[in-house]
Amino acid sequence: MRSSSSEHYNVELKDNSVELTEEGIELAEMALERNDLWDENDPWARFVMNALKAKEFYRRDVQYIVRDGKALIINEEWNIPHNVLNARPKYAGKEAEIVAQAGQKYAITISTNMVGRGTDIILGGNPKVEGRLLSALTREAPNVEVDGEAISQKVLSKIKVGSSSSALLAKAALMGW
């Protein structure tokens, strides 16, 4: 099932692939000043195919990013949790929290369009933000019974937050829990 074709390449929706036509190969070789686009010692064919895949199948800053003029595809099959920062004003509050915790161990933060923002990433996360989140959560925590015993706010306020729960605290604070 071909979804799209042009004189330079064909798009195959079924398997998310693109294929250069003979005219497309000739045009790419001419534009890149190469005799053989598929030369094993020259990576241009891979770059051309990745650019076409990005154009046809992916959304910028979601499935791929552009860094130093190169399109880099984000591998979603690995299912690695990550945050993407685009420096857009409407997401400023959420992105400020993401940046505050971007230095946490195992945190993956992909930032685009951040040039000239003066953003500091503190290794280990931002302890001030963690403290505010923990304080806000324990202040509004009700008395809870576990196995018939009341757990008061005093006990909850002594809980230490490790790096693995910081992201959950940030999410809870953003959602107003």
Q: Where are the domains of the chain?
A: 2-75, 83-175
pTM of the model: 0.39
164 vs 106: CA distance, rounded Å: 9
109 and 86 Cβ atoms separated by less than 8 Å:
no
73 vs 53: CA distance, rounded Å: 9
Residue 32: per-residue pLDDT: 92
Q: What is the pLDDT of residues 88-143, one digit of tens each?
A: 777 777 777 777 777 777 777 777 666 556 666 666 666 676 666 666 655 555 55
Q: What is the pLDDT of residues 53-91, one digit of tens each?
A: 878 888 887 777 788 888 777 766 666 677 777 777 777
Q: Is the pLDDT of residue 161 over 60?
A: no
Q: Which one-letter DSSP state was computed for residue 46?
A: H
Residue 175: per-residue pLDDT: 52
- Cα torsion 26, 32, 34, 39 to 10°: value is -90
Residues making up the chain, counted from first to last:
177
Alpha-carbon torsion (147, 148, 152, 158), positive or negative:
negative
Residue 80: per-residue pLDDT: 65
Residue 2: per-residue pLDDT: 44
37 vs 121: CA distance, rounded Å: 41
Residue 1: per-residue pLDDT: 38
99 and 158 Cβ atoms separated by less than 8 Å:
no
Task: Indicate the pLDDT class of residue 31, thresholds 50, 70 and 90.
Answer: very high
Where is pLDDT greater, at 105 or 144? 105
Stretch 34-42: mean pLDDT, rounded?
86
Domain range 2-75, CATH architecture? Alpha-Beta Complex (3.90)
Where is pLDDT greater, at 170 or 120? 120
* Mean of the per-residue pLDDT values of the chain: 72
